[in-house]
Amino acid sequence: EFANEHTIIVADTIVVAVVGTLAATWLRGDWAEFPGKLKVLEIPRVGEAVEVIADGGADVVVTGLDLPDSRGVSTIQRLCDAGKDCPVIAMLNGTGNPADPETLLGHGVAAYLPNGVASDAVVSTIHGVVAWHRSTAGLRERAARLEAALEGCGDGLWDWDPDGARLHLSHRAAALLGRTPCDTSVPDEWWFGRILGDDSEVLLDRLNAHLEGTTKVFRCEHRVVDDAGRTRWILARGEAVRDLRGAVVRVAGTFTDISEQKRLEDELTYRALHDDLVALPNRVLFADRLERALLGISRGGGHPFAVLFIDFDDFKRVNDVYGHAGGDALLAEAARRVADLVRPGDTVSRLGGDEFGVLLSGVDQVGEAVHIAERILERLRAPHRVGSDDVVVTASIGIAMSSSGYTSGERLLHDADVAMYRAKATGRARCQVFDPSMHETAVRQLRLEAELRDAVGRRQFEVRYQPVVNLETGQVAGFEAMVRWRHPDRGLITPSEFLPAAESSGLIVPIGWWAIREACRQLSEWRRESPEAARIWVSVNASARVLLRAGVLPRLGGICRDFGLPPGVLHIEMTEHLMMEHGDTAMRRLEELRALGVGLCFDDFGSGCSSLGLLDQFRYDLLKIDPSLVWRTDEDNASSDVLTSMVRLADGLGMQAVAEGVETRTQAEALVSMNCPLAQGHWLSQPVTAERAIELLREPSPHWHLGVGMIER
């Protein structure tokens, strides 16, 4: 019945290629006795059969296993590889068969005929195999299309036989694993052996978890190494096929090459954790390494370390002069210099802007950290090439040691930052080791800034006026306006206590503008009340944050117009420090103020080494001589000579000299002997209220007149 049924299905002639003399002899006399059209081709050798199959000259192959040019499994393998559309039937025609039936079926045999089988069974088997092969041709075609589609999108198919320990691969899957495409059936050990490093353990763990039913789908990303030694990332996905008892029969799935995806992920991760400009770890990665280093210490397996916080001194000036491109070039070079000085196990990071951090691993002595910091300072101080210029910049470094018992990397970095600011406050271009007193100072600073912010809103500031006295006439020539803070609990606070906090917080801007406006308002009121006020001026110290901001000129002009003052009665005082830090920018602003008509005063002249050079660049109205030179006249004749020279220099340059800090009558008399025209200081008068100032303007103190025929005090 089976034969008749399939004879009806296979209506046309079946071409049977019988390979091998023994098989042909066995079957030759039996074909005509059975229904169905069978055309027999007798082929003695496998080589000839391969050509017939490749040309499509046979519908089915019946073969023995012991042939002149082939034997055993290799015979089956050659015939099966010759054409997928031509099924192979193996004849087991002897007791010494070189392969068992299960092995033959595993290598692609469609059926096998045992020794002594009846002729009708042979023909029925042939009909059945051909019928099954033709009826499943659509399935094979669809499978081929599916495989082509998957491989077209880069995926490869795999089928794993756990019991047989073999992996069957599509051509694409074999290529992904670096296997020769024509050899697509391999032992599973070959697959596992190609996996790189610890990835094989991860894959086996996940594969076993899936076989045990713990996971619904097997999924694992792993690296493989191909025959050429190249490493690529593979995403392996699959699902187990189970029998009715739940036992795993096979696992089938896909391989996807995710090397490019991994490369992009690595690139994104790198960019997220590194600074693009200097190619160093950024603040996020630096903080992570700090935390890991502290965690290692807490667990007893780590080593002590030090953290350096580096910040350039006045880096804004580089950007102002050379632009951000020039500043970036300098930062990149500075990063290379620092990285070259540290050891391979250390971490150098750009924390942001012109701030850098260094984690010095294995450093437990403060002296060693200081030594490295000083080397960095020296290396950074060497000229940097920016465009066609050699630019010299300095940096300040704060140091914090892990041995101080830190539990937070953020706190450790903060304390190194605090120490860096202390280094700046004590002169810059140096390093400073953190100690707890700095933290207390920083806390006080924050509290002071908060109180200052509140004071600005509540208008808790006052102005005191210190007379600048004409030593020849004994009259007030002008007043220096000095801001005082009327603290609700501490009373009147002098600028030396709160101005540094105002500068660092930016509150100096609203305070500075308030002081300028208040001084002009008061001068306007004096001019209305007393004719003597028409001949005096008022000076106000200007911070760089105020003086160099955009819009300062129209605002100053507007204030003078609001109070009906000519611009010349307002004097702006600036220090050598401002001129040195801001160079050409500050010089351009002075020219603009001169054009506006505002008086200009060089404050603290003689306190620095560049004062004379600055005088050569610009002419001021007043030249205020630093108090330190005035104080030394009591005991040092050489200082008196220097002071005399400064007074003559000012006169020769068309400026009036003002000696600051006069605290004794002896100093005042010495200034008169030097023909110094103007002076101010506590011996002459302390800063006073506006009411007392107008009284001194109307009735000068009698001991101010120290000219010819001095009036006794």
Q: What count of residues does the chain have?
A: 713
- Residue found by looking up tokens 């580096």 in the block: 310
Structure tokens at 544: 């760089």
Report pLDDT for 52. 87
Burial annotation 327-342 (CB, 10 A radius, 16+ → b, else e): bbbbbbebbeebbebb
C-alpha–C-alpha distance, residues 213 and 508, integer Å: 70
Report pLDDT for 410. 93
C-alpha–C-alpha distance, residues 693 and 682, integer Å: 14
E strands in 228-365: 231-242, 248-257, 274-275, 280-281, 305-312, 347-352, 355-361
Report pLDDT for 713. 33
C-alpha–C-alpha distance, residues 624 and 637, integer Å: 20
Instruction: Show the low-confidence residues of the chain (pLDDT under 50).
Output: 1-10, 32, 34, 610, 708-713
Query: What tens digit of pLDDT does each residue of 150-183 get?
Result: 666 668 888 998 888 888 888 888 888 876 655 6
Report pLDDT for 710. 41
On whether the CB atoms of residues 685 and 696 are closer than 8 A, the answer is: yes
Q: What is the residue-averaged pLDDT of the chain? A: 85
Report pLDDT for 616. 63
Nearest of 537, 533, 545, 560 to residue 504 by alpha carbon = 545
Report pLDDT for 364. 87
Cα-based distances in Å from 662 to 4, 102, 463, 469, 688: 133, 115, 21, 11, 16
The DSSP code for 673 is H
- List, in sequence order, every residue forming a beta bridge with 500; answer none if it has no partner: none
Structure tokens at 58: 């046979």
Burial annotation 244-263 (CB, 10 A radius, 16+ → b, else e): eeeebebbebbbbbbbeeee
**3-state secondary structure at position 404:** helix
CA 565 to chain centre: 54
Structure tokens at 686: 């302390």
CA 537 to chain centre: 53
On whether the CB atoms of residues 434 and 399 are closer than 8 A, the answer is: yes
